[in-house]
Structure 1
Amino acid sequence: MINLGTNTIFRYKQFTNWTDTLHEVPESMWLQPIPEGKASIGEIVSHLQNWDSYLISTIIPAITNGEGMTFPDFDSFNRSAYEYARSGISKDHLLDKFKQTRHKLVDILLAETDVVAKHVTVNGIENCPHTSTPYSLLYIIHEFNDHDNHHKNQILAVI
Structure 2
Amino acid sequence: MKESKWLIIEHYKETIRTVKGLSTIKEIAWKTPVSSGKWTVAEVIGHLVYWDEFVVAKRLPYVMSDEPFPPAPHVEVFNEEAVQMSRSQTQEEVIQRFIQTREELIEAIQHFPPYVWDREYSFRATSLLLATYFMGLLKHDEHHFNQIKDVLYSS
Into which bin does the TM-score normalised by the smaller protein fall?
0.7 to 0.9
Normalised by the size of structure 1, how large is the TM-score?
Answer: 0.84
Q: Which amino acid aligns with 2:91?
A: K
Alpha-carbon distance in structure 2 between the residues aligned to 1:125 and 1:68: 12
Q: Distance in 2 between matches of 1:29 and 1:149?
A: 19
* CA positional deviation for 1:115: 4.0
Instruction: Give 5+ residue unaligned stretches, structure 1.
Output: 127-134
Q: Which has the higher helix share?
A: 2
Distance in 2 of aligned mates of 1:34 and 1:108: 31
Aligned counterparts of 1:117 and 1:13: Cα–Cα separation in 2: 23
Alignment-derived partner of residue 21 in structure 1: 21
Deviates more, 1:100-109 or 1:55-64: 55-64
Alignment partners' CA distance in 1, 2:101 and 2:64: 19
Please provide the CA RMSD for this pair.
1.8
- Structure in which a larger fraction of residues adopt strand: 2
Q: Where does residue 45 of structure 1 map in the other structure?
A: 45
Q: Distance in 2 between matches of 1:112 and 1:154?
A: 31
Seq. identity, %: 25
Q: Report the Cα offset of residue 152 of structure 1.
A: 1.1
1:148 paired residue among 121, 130, 141: 141
**1:64, CA displacement in angstroms?**
3.0
Deviations 1:37-96 (A, max 9, x none): 211100111111111111111111233331333322221111110010011x11012111
What is residue 112 of structure 2 aligned with on the other side? 112
CA contact (8 A) 1:68 1:123 kept: no
Decide whether aligned partners of structure 1 residues 122 and 68 sit closer, same or farther in structure 2, where only a CA change above 3 A counts.
same
Equivalent-residue separation in structure 1 for 2:106 and 2:118 (angstroms): 14
Unmatched runs of 5 consecutive residues or more in structure 2 = none
2:61 and 2:82 mapped to 1: Cα distance? Answer: 21
SS of equivalent residue, structure 1 residue 158: helix
CA deviation string 1:100-153 (max 9, x = no partner): 110111101111234454211111312xxxxxxxx1332122111111111111
Q: TM-score, normalised by structure 2?
A: 0.86
Whether the 8 Å contact between 1:43 and 1:81 is mirrored in structure 2 is yes
CA-CA distance at 1:97 after TM superposition: 1.3
Distance (Å, rounded) in 2 between the aligned partners of 1:93 and 1:45: 11
The reply to whether residue 121 of structure 1 matches residue 122 of structure 2 is yes
Equivalent runs, 1:8-87 vs 2, <5 Å: 8-69=8-69, 70-87=71-88
Q: Cα distance 1:78–1:116, how it changes in 2: closer, same or farther (>3 A)?
A: farther
Paired residue total: 150
